Amino acid sequence: MNINTTKIISLLFFIFSAFYLYTAYQIQVFAFDENAPFNARTFPIYLGYAGLFFSGLKVVLPEPNTIKVDHKNLEYKKTVILIIIAIIYGATILKVGYFLTTSLFLFSSYYFLGERRWVLMFLLSFPFVAAFMYLLHGILDIYLRDPFLQSIGVMG
Amino acid sequence: MIEGILIGLTTALTLQNILMVMVGCFFGTIIGMLPGLGPMTAIALMIPITYGFDPATGLILMAGVYYGAVFGGSTSSILLNAPGVPGTVATSFDGYPMAQQGKAGKALAIAAWSSFAGGTLSAIYLLFMAPSLSKVSLSFRSPDYFALMILGLTAIAAFSSKGQFLKAMMMVVLGLMLASVGQDSLSDITRFTFSNMNLTDGISFVLVVMATFAMSEALTIILKRNDPTSAAKQVSLTELGSIKINKEERSKMYKTIPRSSIIGFLIGVLPGAGATIASFLAYGMERNVVNDEEKEKFGKGSVNGLSAPETANNAACSGSFVPMLTLGIPGSGTTAVMLGALLGFGVQPGPRLYMTNPEIFWSIIMSMYIGMVILLILNLPLIPYIARILAVPKNYLIPLILFFSVTGIYVMSFNNFDIYLMIGIAVVATFLRLYDFPMPPLILAFVLGGLMEENLRRSLLLSNGSWEFLWDRALTACILLITILIVIWHVYKTMFKKTNN
């Protein structure tokens, strides 16, 4: 049987809804609330059933317009690299600080997307982030913790 | 009302707020021009910055971005035949042929004047309608609100799903599920947190918007090898021709603008509809009412054909504020983002907004006028220069969108868990977008999730757990009947289409 990707996504959503429903039934409510007309688990339980209903219908009903995605033409490599850069950004920002991490995040993103104009890449990363940081920290008064700038004495 | 207008003017006409409208219109125009990046992305990117201001200023900034983005979309429709937002697709039908005939400047001027007139007229309608509707909606009770939310979610699923109603409903359920994470508002019992302290307060609204729109749009552009700026490189943005509109063209616009603004406004008020449907309806209606000679020109550079959708899409933008401001229920994905931002400010929109926070209520309406004037000033002389920004290479544009997304989340929470969560949601959203799962229903459901549960809780407690509250009051029953009719109409339309195929 040839099953299309939309049906697979719907099936995954069906399984997710079943898991959500199971978890909803596990929500601990106060003893006096157990038989109340509405408690903390009521709405999630309805949602779980709604998810099962709609995804179940999508799996069962015929698909009038099958969406075909040409995977050969998709740029997976660059997309995955950008996601990895974003994850590394998340992992380092608290330890290294906003300025250096964000500047490197931008610089490496330009590089991996194929840019090679080094001066422009530099200008649109380090000075750009510094200006943006000044806008947030200096003008809008949004505190940005930055151990790197603190260690070199730029930030108090 | 006069007092309200004065309050609104006093708030909106401060130097800071005028500056915010200008910044919003400018930024919105640029983002709206880029195909694939619409008003929701533009507003999402602005939210973290708005939290540095008071609610009125923040909302004025977002409203400016909204109008700017819609007009920016028209510019790329006319110059490049590449609509920046779905609401400006109809603009390209006659705007692009006009530009091809060497009348790009004239087409942009017609679009600018029509947008200005449509936006201004609908802001007047809003001025009269919103306070009256607010008074009426004071009589709404929890069952009515619950029914209204069901109607809003069903309508947005029906209208935004391009025939994929079930997919849209799945996105609605997913949005509600995401909203249910965290502490229960009444009992404080934690739900779906899996003992993770970072989830105790629930998932941040800004995080979901950034992930499903800004970040996933950037990833989709890379994944599909789209270049939103490529079309700009193929056309000359410097030779746009004259922007003067002659007497005959003006007289055509005088007739088109009032009727299209009414259609646009009324469609905008309806939950789930919006600028796209409004512009297509206005275009269709205009074609039916003009004489045969003018009808022949449609699709070949008709003044009426360009003016009608442009007027309607701007009027619809103002119209979409009505349910948000008066009922606290957004009618579109974009106003849902704004509602989420308002809730973040600690302001509860709804029928009491214009009594409890009159400065917010009236300053939004007043800033619409100011926004329209600024857009006109900005767009008429500056468009050839602004359009050149379209030539910014994708290699710079995408990292900058990602930068604004992750920075936006970081400055709001200062923890990296939110960054990971955003990346995770963005990856899932990108994958779902590939298979045409619409994101606006998810956002609307996420915003309404808490309110919906609250109103269902009250209704069920008042009726001792019985579902009779759904038909006990005539108003509730009427709203649910409309919801059922929308579903039936949609199922019928899908089946009829299938039979025709």
Q: What is the dihedral of CA B104, B105, B110, B112, to 10 degrees?
A: 110
Token pair listed for B206: 């800004």
DSSP-derived letter for residue B270 is: S
Q: How many CB atoms lie within 10 A of CB B377?
A: 14
pLDDT at B299 over 60: yes
Q: Where are the domains of chain A?
A: 5-69, 73-151
pLDDT number for residue B480: 92
> Residue B232's pLDDT is what?
54
pTM value is 0.82
Partners of residue B183 on adjacent β-strands: B190
- What is the arithmetic mean of pLDDT over B138-153? 86
Chain A nearest CA to B105, separation (Å): 32
Q: Do the chains contact at A109 and B427, CB–CB below 8 Å?
A: no
- Is pLDDT above 90 for B59? no
For residue B126, give Cα distances in angstroms to B274, B364, B388: 15, 11, 35
Q: Give the residue, B244 or B83, on which the prediction is more confident.
A: B244
The DSSP annotation for B31-49 comes to HHHSTT--HHHHHHHHHHH
CB contact under 8 A, A51 and B419: no
Q: Which residue of A has its CA nearest to B494?
A: A64
Distances (CA, A) of A36 to B60, B134, B457, B462: 43, 33, 10, 12
CA nearest neighbour of B45 among B321, B402, B346, B422: B402
Tell me how many degrees the CA angle B225-B228-B231 measures, rounded to the nearest 5.
110
pLDDT computed for residue B182 by the predictor: 93
Longest dimension (CA), chain B: 70
DSSP classification of residue B183:
E
pLDDT, greater one: A115 or B8: A115
Query: Is the pLDDT score of B136 beyond 80?
Result: no
Q: Where do the H-state alpha helices sit in A97-117? A: 98-112
What residue of B is the nearest CA neighbor of A16? B174
Q: Which residue of A has its CA nearest to B427?
A: A83
User: Which residues in A lie closer than 8 A to residue B16 (C-beta atoms)?
Assistant: none
pLDDT, residue A125, reads 93
Range with lowest mean pLDDT among A121-135, B145-159, B196-210: B145-159
**C-beta of residue B60 within 8 angstroms of C-beta of residue B12:** yes
List the single residue in A27, A37, A58 with the smallest CB-CB distance to B167: A58
Contacts of A94 in chain B (CB under 8 A): 415-416
Q: Which of A102-116, B57-71, B430-444 has the highest mean pLDDT?
A: A102-116
Give strand pairing partners of B182: B191
d(CA A37, CA B263): 44
Lowest mean pLDDT among A125-134, B172-181, B345-354: B345-354
User: CA dist B1 to B29, B60, B127, B358, B362, Å?
Assistant: 32, 20, 9, 11, 9
What's the whole-number average pLDDT of chain B?
A: 83
What b/e string do you get for A73-109 counting C-beta neighbours within 10 Å, with b at 16 or more? eebeebbebbbebbeebbeebbebbbbbbbbbbbbbb
Residue A99 is which amino acid? F
**Least CB-CB distance to A13: which of B170, B398, B427?**
B170
Instruction: Say which DSSP state B346 is in.
Output: T
Going from the C-alpha of A33 to that of each of A30, A41, A65, B201, B455, the distances in angstroms are 5, 10, 47, 22, 18
What's the whole-number mean pLDDT along residues B331-347? 80
User: Is the pLDDT assigned to residue A102 strictly greater than 50?
Assistant: yes
Residues of B in Cβ contact (< 8 Å) with A145:
414
List, in order, residues 6 or more apart from B130 with CB less than 8 Å away. Answer: B321, B322, B325, B326, B354, B361, B365
| Cβ distance of A13 and B415 shorter than 8 Å | no
Of B46-50, B109-113, B368-372, B380-384, the range with the highest mean pLDDT is B109-113
| ipTM of the prediction greater than 0.95, yes or no | no
Residue A1 pLDDT: 47
pLDDT tier at B501, thresholds 50, 70, 90? very low
Residues B189, A27: C-beta atoms closer than 8 Å: yes
Calpha distance B376→B296 (Å, rounded) = 30
Confidence check: pLDDT of B432 > 90: yes
Question: Average of pLDDT values for B133-148?
Answer: 81
Q: Give residue B181's pLDDT band: very low, low, confident or very high (50, 70, 90).
A: very high
Whether the pLDDT of residue B199 is over 50: the answer is: yes
**B chain contacts of residue A36, beta-carbon cutoff 8 Å:** 461
Angle subtended at Cα B294 by Cα B293 and Cα B297, rounded to the nearest 5 degrees: 100
Count of Cβ atoms closer than 10 Å to residue B333 Cβ:
27
Residue B138: predicted pLDDT: 73
Distance CA B271, CA A89 (A): 39
Residues of A within 8 A of B403 (CB-CB) are 102, 105-106, 109
- In angstroms, rounded to a whole number, what is the distance separating the alpha carbons of residues B322 and B339? 12
Using DSSP's 3-state secondary structure scheme, residue B298 falls into coil
Mean pLDDT over A35-62 rounds to 92
C-alpha B404/C-alpha B396 separation (Å) is 12
Q: Using a CB-CB distance cutoff of 8 angstroms, which residues of chain A are in contact with residue B494? A: 64
- The CA-based diameter of chain A, rounded to the nearest angstrom, is 68
pLDDT mean over B476-483: 91
- For chain A, the residue count is 156
| Per-domain boundaries in chain B | 2-229+237-500
Pick the residue with more confidence: B6 or A125?
A125
Cβ atoms of residues A43 and A103 within 8 Å = no
What are the tens digits of pLDDT across the range B306-330? 999 999 988 888 888 888 888 887 7
A:B CB pairs within 8 Å: 163
* Residue A142 confidence (pLDDT) above 50: yes
The number of helix segments (H) and strand segments (E) in chain A equals 7, 0
Is the pLDDT assigned to residue B94 strictly greater than 50?
Answer: yes
| Whole-number pLDDT of residue B70 | 80
